[in-house]
Amino acid sequence: MFVSDPIASEAIVDCIFCKIAAGSIPAKKVREDDAVLAFHDIDPKAPTHILVIPKKHIASLAEAKADDAALLGRLLLAVAEIAQEQGLGKGYRVVISTGAEGGQTVDHLHLHVLGGRQMHWPPG
């Protein structure tokens, strides 16, 4: 599918974000290219709440490798472009939750783009 390692391939069979990237689960897409997919979160926490994911399965930021550096850069550039397209010129927040204690609920790297309201600190 998105990885060639047979053990890793088994791990993504139940990954909802891999299924969305493959097109087997529908999503309200904002942007898509060969490596990155962005779509509206189904449980938004702000007026604008978009998830940006790599199509390649990377379980979390902690699992990213040196050879993922270009892909990680593409994710961040996509975030900036999407924020501009969504009219978030006054500001927005980008969140990457990593691991259970970090609040990660889907084991596929994803960036939350939140905007359209005043953000507060600390985030919680």
Q: Which of 40, 57, 108, 110 is catalytic?
A: 110
From the CB of residue 104, how many other CB atoms can be counted at a distance below 10 Å? Answer: 18
Residue with tokens 């010129």: 89
- Counting beta carbons within 10 angstroms of the beta carbon of residue 97, is it exposed (0 to 12), middle (13 to 18) or buried (19 or more)? middle
Is 40 designated active site? no
Contact 32, 54 (CB under 8 A): no
Q: Hey, which residues are catalytic here?
A: 110
